[in-house]
Amino acid sequence: MEREQIHKMLRDMLRARAFEERAAEEYSKGNFTGFLHLYPGEEAVAVGVIHAAEPSDYIVTTYREHVHALVRGTPSKAIMAELFGRRDGVCKGMGGSMHLFDAERRFMGGYAIVGETYPIAIGVGYAVMLRKLPEAVICFFGDGAVNQGTFHESLNMAALWRLPVLFVCENNHYQIGTEIHRHSAVTDVYKRAAAYNIPAEKINGMDVLTVNRTTQRLLKQIRSGGGPYLLELETYRFRGHSMADPGTYRPAVEVHSFTTQDPISIAAHEIELNYPTTDQIAEVGPDCITLLTQHAQEKGQLIEQELALMKDDIAKEIDAAVDFALQSPQPTLEECLDDFNINQRTEILI
C-alpha cells in the first residue's frame, strides 16, 4: 500500500484514540453527561472500512460512533461540541454522543437502539437500488445485535431485493457484560448470513490493512450490483461497555492478555480508576495502532519524527475541539423545538 495511504490511516487511528480518551477525560470532569460508549481498541474497524468508502457511499452505525463520524470527515470540534450538548455540535446539541448525524457526508446516523441500524440501512439501500446508482451502504452493528428480529428481517429483505448493503459486524466479543458464547447459539456471526443466502466472511479486525483491502474489494462488488455481503471483523474494546461500566465481568486472564503485568494498580491514579491506560494495553496486546506503526516502520514508510509530528498535530486538534465545545453556547429551550415536526391538527380516526 502507498506510503501516503498508510500515513492517513495511522493518523486517523491516532486521532480516534486521542479523541476518545479526551472525551472520557471531559466526561469525568463533568463537562458533559449522559451515556458515553468509547472505541479504543477497535479503531482498525472504522478506519479500515471507512477509508475504503467513496464519498457517495452511505454509513449507518450504532451508539459507539464518534470515530466513524470523525473518520468520515465530520470535524472533531463539531463532534466534541455535540457530546457537550452545545449549539455548534453536528446536530446542534440535540443528539449527543449516541445520535451523531451528518447528512452532508452521507453519515446517516448513530443509533442507540440495538438492531436499529439494519432497517435504516436497507431503507437507504432500497433508495439506491431504485435509482440504479453505483453506491453502497455500510451498516455497522455489534455482535450483541444479531439476536434482534430486525437482523433477520433486514437480511432477508436485503437478499431478496439484492440491496447494495455491506453489513459490518464489529465483533468485540461482548454485549455489555455478556460474552458472545453466552448470548448466541452461533458464535461465528458471519455463518448466520448463509440462512439468507448472503455471502459472508470473517477477518482480523485488528489489522487495518487487511480490513481496508477486504472492504475495498467488497464495496466494489456491491456497487456494481453484486448484492449484499456480511463482513465480520474480530476486534476488542479496551474499556468497559460505557463510562458507567467498570468492566469487571471480563475474566482476569483475558484482560491480562491486553494489559501489563500489574494493570489495575498502575491505573489506580488514572481518571478511570479501573482501567489501565490504552498505551499500557497497547504495549502488550494486539493493538491495531501498534500493528500498523510497526508495519509502516519495517517497510521504511514511517520514521519516528513523522510519528511524533502526527501526535503533536492531533493533540493540538483535540485541544482545539474541546475549547470550541466549551465556548459554544447551550441551545435555548425554544431552539430545542425548532426541528420537531409536530402534527398540529387534531385527527379523529374511525
- DSSP code string of 93-112: TSS-TT---BGGGTEEEEES
Q: Where are the beta strands (DSSP E) in the chain?
A: 58-62, 107-111, 137-142, 165-171, 174-175, 178-179, 200-204, 229-234
Nearest to 70 by CA among 47, 87, 42, 93: 47
> 107 touches which of ligand TPP, Mg ion, none (CB within 5 to 8 A by kind)?
none
Count of Cβ atoms closer than 10 Å to residue 97 Cβ = 27
Count of Cβ atoms closer than 10 Å to residue 243 Cβ = 19
Nearer to ligand TPP, 169 or 289 (CB): 169
Q: Per CB under 5 A, does 41 bind Mg ion?
A: no
> 64 touches which of Mg ion, ligand TPP, none (CB within 5 to 8 A by kind)?
ligand TPP
What is the 8-class DSSP label of residue 332? P
Nearer to Mg ion, 14 or 231 (CB): 231
Q: Which of 42, 143, 232, 287 binds Mg ion (CB under 5 A)?
A: 143
Nearer to Mg ion, 176 or 320 (CB): 176
Report how far residue 66's alpha carbon sits from residue 12's, in angstroms, rounded to the nearest whole number. Answer: 12
Nearer to Mg ion, 144 or 164 (CB): 144
Conformational region of residue 179, where left means phi above 0, alpha means psi within -120 to 50, and beta covers everything else: beta
Looking only at residues 127 through 146 of this chain, which bind ligand TPP when binding is defined by CB under 6 A? Answer: 142-145
Count of Cβ atoms closer than 10 Å to residue 196 Cβ = 18
Distance of closest approach, residue 174 Cβ to Mg ion, in angstroms = 5
Quick note: the x/- pattern for Mg ion over 144-183, rule CB under 5 A, is x---------------------------x-x---------
Q: Per CB under 6 A, does 186 bind ligand TPP?
A: no
Nearer to ligand TPP, 50 or 296 (CB): 50
Q: Per CB under 6 A, does 175 bind ligand TPP?
A: yes
Residue ranges binding Mg ion (CB under 5 A):
142-144, 172, 174
